[in-house]
Amino acid sequence: MTAATTLRVARPTDQLAEVVRFYEIGLGFERLASFDDHDGFDGVMLGVPGASYHLEFTTTRRHRAGRAPTQDHLLVFYLPDDRDWQHAVNRMIAAGYEPVASFNPYWSHAGRTFEDPDGYRIVLQHAPWPD
């Protein structure tokens, strides 16, 4: 692995439109690509153009994806700038998503946790990534 490596986090969902809305409207990601009926799967890739990571959500009629297995399945976004962090929190709330109590209280000290329609959670952490 190097700094040039791109990370795709991929997961299935039974609620593709609702999950895409959470990450697109709530979190502010852009739709980078999508596909329909690729071997029975539909999917959407979301992220920040030019970033070295993005998310992929897929759905198929072949099986149910179900909900997150625990409340501690997290994607953590480190936002050290006060205005950037507050803007991200406000954007989620304006989109209709209220913060939820963190399963691990650590994330409540300097962050806000939000739950997507499948029960997976994101943390908007108001801190720099510790180098």
Domain 7-60 classified CATH 1.50.10.20? no
- Ordered by start, the domain boundaries in the chain are 7-60, 74-125
Q: What is the pTM of this model?
A: 0.94
74-125 has the same fold as 7-60: yes
Residue partners of 4: CB distance under 8 A and separation at least 6 = 52
Average pLDDT per block of 10 residues along the chain, 131 residues long: 94 97 98 95 97 96 94 97 98 98 96 98 96 74
Range 74-125 has CATH code 3.40.710.10 = no
For residue 122, what are the contacts with CB-CB under 8 A and spacing of at least 6?
27, 74, 75, 76, 77, 113, 114, 116
**Angle CA 108–109–112, to nearest 5:** 40
pLDDT at 131: 74
pLDDT digit string, tens, across residues 37-66 = 999 999 999 999 999 999 999 999 899 999
